[in-house]
Homo-oligomer: A and B are copies of this chain.
Amino acid sequence: MTVKTEDENPTAAVMIIGDEILSGRTQDTNVNTIAKFLGALGVDLVEVRMVHDVEAQVVRTLNELRTSVDYVFTTGGIGPTHDDITADCVANAFGVGIDERQDALDILLARYGGDANLLNPNSRRMARIPDGASLIVNPVSGAPGFQLENVFVMAGVPRIMAGMLNDLPHRLRHGQQVQSRTVKATYVPESLAADILKSLDAQYPDLSLGSYPFGIYPEEFGTQLVIRGRNADDLDAAFAALLAGLPPIVAQARQRYPDARFEEVVG
């Protein structure tokens, strides 16, 4: 693990656990939700892994990630069924015990009006928490997630996962938020915008310049240009240079594709 200075942003990885994602049955949206959540806190998401509900793979992946980034966020596998193995995998990865815990059980019981008869053994599985973990509040459906050291274990259902994120900001070191400046749609091909992007990239090594083509020629087509970074002054300067450089590029594009519609929208 590399030593980082305090002014560097913390790093994070996401591990999506679930056969339903890898089989194509379910379109994941949790990565995007977590990515936006971390971006707002200045935590840099550096890697995502999606794995099967298989203990060896989950344990190996978790151990690789938790020793290489500051924070790991997992989703999936903490429900009441036989394939909900995430809590056991986390205990296994850390080499700690796991048992039913009263505070977690109380939360589940409260969902049933305190009637323990309504809580079957399968539901009680959701109160099994690795030793040393703290609970993560689930404001949506009760059954908690948990944090063990730098690993945050959350539900897979997107609405529940999003609810659990509300209990995380105070547990994380916040970094400097990455901001962006965007040219929403310039109707030029990516190849014509490449020179100015390359030149700005060289001039501002701490900024990240992205270009995202949309549409396919001869339909309406163009490129979205995005500058991202932490230094607002650099961002403003690079964005001004980009805007100043676009008109001749648009003119050049107009010459090449006389039938195409060109219109510059900045946002």
Contacts and interface: CB of A to CB of B under 8 A. Distances in A.
A198 B33 CA distance: 31
Contacts of A125: 194
B46 A24 contact: no
Contacts of A16: 48
Interface residues of A, number: 69
Contact of A35 (B22, B34, B123, B198): B22
A209 interface: yes
Most chain B CB inside 10 Å of its own CB: which residue of A22, A120, A160, A189: A22
A213 B96 CA distance: 29
Report copies per complex: 2
Contact of A79 (B120, B201, B213): B213
B45 A82 contact: no
Interface in A176-215: 178, 180, 189-195, 197-198, 201, 208-214
Given A47-B51, A50-B48, A82 B32 contact: no
Contacts of A211: 79, 81, 83
Interface string A12-39: 0000100111111111110111111011
Which of A21, A31, A118, A178 is most buried by chain B, counting CB atoms within 10 A of its CB?
A: A31
Given A208-B19, A216-B159, A81 B48 contact: no
A22 B48 contact: yes
A14 B228 CA distance: 26
Contacts of A45: 22-24
A123 B79 CA distance: 50
Interface in A126-152: 140-141
Contacts of A180: 25
Contacts of A80: 190-191, 194
A120 B159 contact: no
B82 A217 contact: no
14 contacts: A21-B35, A21-B48, A23-B45, A23-B228, A24-B35, A27-B29, A28-B28, A47-B49, A48-B48, A82-B209, A83-B209, A122-B191, A159-B216, A160-B216
Interface of A: 16, 19-29, 31-36, 38-39, 45-52, 57, 79-83, 111, 118, 120, 122-123, 125, 140-141, 157, 159-160, 178, 180, 189-195, 197-198, 201, 208-214, 216-217, 226, 228, 256
Which 10 A-B residue pairings sit nearest by Cβ, starting from the closest?
A24-B35, A122-B194, A48-B50, A24-B36, A80-B191, A123-B191, A82-B198, A122-B191, A81-B194, A27-B32
Given A25-B210, A28-B31, 10 more contacts: A22-B45, A24-B33, A24-B35, A24-B36, A25-B226, A26-B212, A46-B52, A79-B211, A81-B211, A83-B208
